[in-house]
Amino acid sequence: MRFHPGLNVGLSRDGSLFALQPGRVVVTCEKVDLNWENFWVKRDYAGRENQVIYKKHFNIIPKPQHNTFKLIDTI
């Protein structure tokens, strides 16, 4: 897959992504930890065993933010 579902995003049977909640779309590039024992991973990523692999994830940030988290300290 070229794009992957992230937070609040679903994946349909035909491979399309859809939002599970209304909100803003954010695209992130995240490092993935592949299962190198899987046949498809071995086939698709042959020769890249020692490389860091990144994938694009689509995330939905909901419009009404909840107030359950509180900032405790800053770096």
Q: Residue 19 domain-assigned?
A: yes
Domain count, the chain: 1
The pTM for the full model equals: 0.67
Is residue 68 situated within a structural domain?
A: no
* Cβ pair 67, 34 in contact under 8 A: no
Q: What is the CATH number of the domain that holds 7?
A: 2.40.50.100
Q: Give me the mean pLDDT over the 42-62 stretch.
A: 91
Q: Is residue 9 part of a domain?
A: yes
Q: What is the mean pLDDT of residues 25-52?
A: 91
Residue numbers of the domain that contains 54: 3-62
Inside any domain, residue 71: no
User: What pLDDT does residue 20 have?
Assistant: 93
- Evaluate whether 27 touches 63 at the Cβ level (below 8 Å): no
Percent of the chain clearing pLDDT 70 (strictly above): 95
